[in-house]
Structure 1
Amino acid sequence: MQPTATVLVYSDNASTREEVRLATGRRPAADVPEVRFIECATLPAVLKELDRGGVDVCVLDGEAVPAGGMGVCRQIKDEIFQCPPVLLLMGRPQDAWLATWSRAEAAVTLPVEPVGFATALAGLLRDRLAVEA
């Protein structure tokens, strides 16, 4: 098992990024590595970090402005070779169809609910690390 997993968190809202960090803690589950966060507040920063490589999972805020996480997700799925899995933060449960359209692997609603979020993130990390192994 690798010593750390890298999670990119995109939101224009610093409070949302903090909610993600707090819900994750040091690791979202006992059987996944500790998490290191890369925080991005803009789409250009997200693209720059993904071009660098090394990101295991992306957490994208569907409510971010001006570039919402759903559109960002669809864009990176089209543009980034071997794009990491995406956990989308949605404003409403009714937006689940948009999460499907964006090709996100998982979605949870805002505000971040720690147990549900950690479970979804841990599942994506397990899947990603199993593929890399």
Structure 2
Amino acid sequence: MSDQTVDVLVFSDDVDTRKAVIGGVGLRPGKGLPTINWVEAATKPGVVEKVRGGDFALLILDGEATKEGGMSIARELSGILDSVPPVIILTARQQDDWLATWSGAAATVPEPLDPIVLQETVASVLAGDR
């Protein structure tokens, strides 16, 4: 089992969504994968500041956040940073998957969040399978 720890940022303006992601994935998304140190952000400026100052293995962004959604944040990050970690977008509708992909997402997870799907997606992205 990996002794490594990685930082994963979860963004949503809804604290319950952030808690659902963290609780759904847990501290280790799969056997042999690193332990996750969760970092939370509730605003776009918070995401940008933390990503600029951190070394994240993965970003999980709420595509349904009000004011500024995860898809537009992902797109903006790719325009202002030299390197952006892989991104998972939480989507409300399957029809939004193409837009999430356009914004640079490695994967999407539909809402309502299924902890198994969420954990498998995070494990897959962290393992480099997506």
TM-score after normalising by structure 1: 0.91
Question: RMSD of the TM alignment (CA)?
Answer: 1.3
**Residue-by-residue CA offset, 1:69-120 (whole Å, 9 max, x unaligned):** 1111111122122110000000111111111211111001012111111111
Unaligned stretches of 5+ residues in structure 2: none
Aligned to 2:110: 109
- Aligned residue for 1:122, secondary structure, equals helix
Contact 1:50 1:80 in 2 (8 A): no
Kindly indicate which of the two structures has a greater share of residues assigned to helix: 1
- Please tell me the residue identity of whatever aligns with 1:19: A
Aligned to 1:127: 128
- Please tell me the residue identity of whatever aligns with 2:66: V
- Please tell me the residue identity of whatever aligns with 1:5: V
Aligned to 2:91: 90
Contact 1:10 1:17 in 2 (8 A): yes
- Aligned residue for 1:84, secondary structure, equals coil
Contact 1:87 1:107 in 2 (8 A): yes
Percent of aligned pairs sharing the same letter: 38
- Aligned residue for 2:127, secondary structure, equals helix
- How far apart, CA to CA, are the structure 2 residues paired with 1:2 and 1:101? 34
The yes-or-no answer on 1:15 pairing with 2:16 is yes
- Residue 53 of structure 1, CA deviation: 2.4
- Residue 2 of structure 1, CA deviation: 5.5
The yes-or-no answer on 1:52 pairing with 2:92 is no
- How far apart, CA to CA, are the structure 1 residues paired with 2:74 and 2:3? 26
Contact 1:9 1:37 in 2 (8 A): yes
- Aligned residue for 2:56, secondary structure, equals coil
The yes-or-no answer on 1:32 pairing with 2:33 is yes
- Residue 127 of structure 1, CA deviation: 1.6
The yes-or-no answer on 1:6 pairing with 2:7 is yes
Aligned to 1:131: none
- How far apart, CA to CA, are the structure 2 residues paired with 1:90 and 1:100? 11
- Aligned residue for 2:13, secondary structure, equals coil
- Aligned residue for 1:38, secondary structure, equals strand
| Count, aligned residues | 128
